[in-house]
């Protein structure tokens, strides 16, 4: 491919109200802020979504740290540079340690741009093999079990065949028991977002009785060793999320036996290049992966569908319909659930979704435009 030169990069900080509060072991969210990154070259515009949140709760990055690192460091490393393949972007920004979500947003925008320039879908560029991907829904903590059951009922009625429940100490086994009694055959899994320690091993041994697909990130967000100890005690596979911050972490986790499944989030690991490296490593070792979610707009969701169309994403992803979170998305078309609990992977050039300029303007809080010198 003839190299592309990035002529202009824009940052758009947007804030979108959630249709229903989303509560996890680390807090309750009612609004989703995020940064959209757009990169322009030769008349084309590529888009990436930064999944850092309002505060350093799920991860240490926030929208404001990501804005700072993008504006003051990352943009300058990429602007005006000739790029022949999106896999070159990690090398261009290699001096930056951490800040995976900021790096991912920029790299992923370039993936979209390159796919458009080649006239292929992002899924094709990533090596995708599936036209539609199985998806599930992540259900937050609710004030009562009745309220939780009502939420689950709505999603099952909508057609979701896999449900993930958020758990935390004091709201765990009883939630799973209630949902399992009502839905004996539902594909069910739980996510603790690091709320427990090895002292809670008995809780997980109890959960072993409920035919869960997996138990996600039960222990410390940075741990691999204690997870290996816990995994040896359990029949249910442990799936790591927060602990896997790079392909190296994935290799260490598998070597230690810290998990039997990995949740890949493109923001958490620093972009599609690292996400595919983890995919390939897990595929070689027979370890299934699935695509996590970060309450994305349709920009992030379209990227997640493309990623999840690759071969080893064999478990349903947290890629529900955007309407589950937002009354109006900033990018269209809305990606909708098929009757078999899949979502069709966009097959047009690049991401296959387009920003709605009016909606973007309505939800935008901060905007930055940087042009390459001489462009």
Q: Per the residue annotation, which of 2, 164, 166, 168 is the catalytic one? A: 166
Closest CA to 327 of 19, 1, 4: 19
Instruction: Decide: is 298 part of the binding site for ligand SMG (CB under 6 A).
Output: no
- Minimum distance between the CB of residue 328 and Mg ion, rounded to whole angstroms? 26
Instruction: Decide: is 293 part of the binding site for ligand SMG (CB under 6 A).
Output: yes
- Minimum distance between the CB of residue 25 and Mg ion, rounded to whole angstroms? 10
CA distance 114 to 116: 5
Would you say 86 and 275 are in contact if contact means Cβ atoms under 8 Å apart?
Answer: no
Alpha helices, DSSP H, located in 11-99: 63-69, 75-78, 89-92
Q: Which residue is nearest to ligand SMG (CB)?
A: 293
Instruction: Decide: is 53 part of the binding site for ligand SMG (CB under 6 A).
Output: yes
CB under 6 A: which stretch of 87-95, 98-106, 290-298, 332-340 binds ligand SMG? 290-298
- Minimum distance between the CB of residue 158 and ligand SMG, rounded to whole angstroms? 14
Instruction: Decide: is 107 part of the binding site for Mg ion (CB under 5 A).
Output: no
Would you say 164 and 136 are in contact if contact means Cβ atoms under 8 Å apart?
Answer: yes
Q: Contact with Mg ion (CB under 5 A): which of 49, 241, 321, 329?
A: 241
Shorter beta-carbon distance to Mg ion: residue 107 or 191: 191
* Omega cis (within 30) before 333: yes
Q: Say if residue 374 is exposed, middle or buried (CB neighbours under 10 Å; 0-12, 13-18, 19+).
A: exposed
Strand partners, 238: 215
Closest CA to 213 of 191, 189, 232: 189
Q: Contact with ligand SMG (CB under 6 A): which of 151, 161, 245, 320?
A: 320
CB under 6 A: which stretch of 73-81, 110-118, 124-132, 289-297 binds ligand SMG? 289-297
CA distance 6 to 286: 38
Contacts of the segment 20-24: beta carbons below 8 A, 24+ positions apart: 20/140, 20/151, 21/140, 22/140, 22/295, 22/325, 23/140, 23/141, 23/142, 23/166, 24/58, 24/140, 24/141, 24/166, 24/168, 24/191, 24/193
Instruction: Decide: is 191 part of the binding site for ligand SMG (CB under 6 A).
Output: yes
Q: Per the residue annotation, which of 2, 164, 168, 265 is the catalytic one? A: 265
Q: Say if residue 186 is exposed, middle or buried (CB neighbours under 10 Å; 0-12, 13-18, 19+).
A: middle
Is 265 one of the catalytic residues?
A: yes
Is 164 one of the catalytic residues?
A: no
Would you say 353 and 332 are in contact if contact means Cβ atoms under 8 Å apart?
Answer: yes
CB under 6 A: which stretch of 115-123, 251-259, 291-299, 347-355 binds ligand SMG? 291-299
- Minimum distance between the CB of residue 130 and Mg ion, rounded to whole angstroms? 23
Residues 131-160 interacting with ligand SMG (rule: CB under 6 A): 138
The distance between the two most distant Cα atoms of the chain, rounded to a whole number of Å, is 65
- Minimum distance between the CB of residue 241 and ligand SMG, rounded to whole angstroms? 5
Q: Which does 346 bind (CB under 5 to 8 A by kind): Mg ion, ligand SMG, none?
A: none
Instruction: Decide: is 296 part of the binding site for Mg ion (CB under 5 A).
Output: no
With the C-alpha atoms ordered 333, 335, 340, 344, is the resulting torsion angle positive or negative?
Answer: positive
Instruction: Decide: is 218 part of the binding site for ligand SMG (CB under 6 A).
Output: no
Q: Contact with Mg ion (CB under 5 A): which of 191, 223, 296, 321?
A: 191
Shorter beta-carbon distance to Mg ion: residue 12 or 265: 265
Q: Contact with ligand SMG (CB under 6 A): which of 47, 58, 160, 204?
A: 58
CA distance 290 to 262: 7
Instruction: Write out the residues near ligand SMG by the rule CB under 6 A.
Output: 53, 58, 138, 191, 193, 241, 292-295, 318, 320
């Amino acid at each position: 491919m003839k190299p592309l030169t990035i002529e202009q990069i824009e940052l758009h900080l947007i804030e979108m109200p959630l249709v229903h509060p989303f509560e996890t072991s680390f807090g309750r969210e009612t609004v989703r802020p995020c940064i959209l990154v757009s990169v322009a070259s030769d008349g084309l515009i590529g888009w990436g979504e930064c999944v850092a949140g309002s505060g350093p709760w799920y991860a240490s990055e926030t929208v404001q740290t990501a804005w700072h690192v993008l504006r003051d460091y990352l943009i300058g490393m990429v602007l005006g540079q000739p790029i022949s393949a999106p896999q070159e972007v990690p090398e261009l920004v290699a001096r930056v340690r951490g800040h995976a979500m900021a790096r991912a947003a920029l790299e992923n925008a370039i993936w979209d741009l390159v796919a458009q320039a080649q006239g292929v879908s992002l899924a094709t560029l990533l090596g995708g093999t599936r036209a539609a991907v199985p998806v599930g829904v992540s259900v937050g903590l609710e004030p009562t079990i009745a309220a939780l059951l009502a939420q689950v009922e709505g999603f099952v009625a909508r057609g979701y065949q896999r449900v993930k429940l958020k758990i935390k100490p004091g709201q765990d086994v009883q939630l799973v028991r209630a949902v399992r009694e009502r839905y004996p055959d539902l594909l069910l899994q739980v996510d603790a977002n690091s709320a427990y320690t090895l002292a809670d091993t008995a809780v997980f041994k109890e959960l072993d009785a409920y035919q869960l697909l997996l138990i996600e990130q039960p222990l410390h967000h940075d741990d691999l060793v204690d997870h290996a100890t816990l995994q040896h005690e359990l029949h249910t596979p442990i799936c790591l999320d927060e602990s896997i911050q790079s392909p190296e972490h994935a290799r260490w986790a598998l070597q230690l036996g810290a998990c039997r499944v990995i949740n890949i989030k493109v923001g958490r690991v620093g972009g599609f290049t690292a996400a595919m490296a983890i995919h390939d490593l897990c595929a070689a070792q027979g370890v299934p992966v699935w695509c996590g979610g970060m309450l994305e707009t349709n920009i992030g969701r379209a990227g997640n569908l493309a990623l999840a169309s690759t071969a080893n994403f064999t478990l349903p992803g947290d890629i529900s319909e955007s309407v589950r979170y937002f009354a109006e998305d900033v990018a269209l078309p809305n990606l909708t659930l098929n009757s078999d609990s899949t979502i069709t992977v966009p097959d047009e050039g690049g991401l296959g979704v387009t920003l709605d300029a009016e909606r973007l303007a309505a939800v935008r809080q901060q905007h930055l435009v940087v042009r390459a010198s001489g462009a």
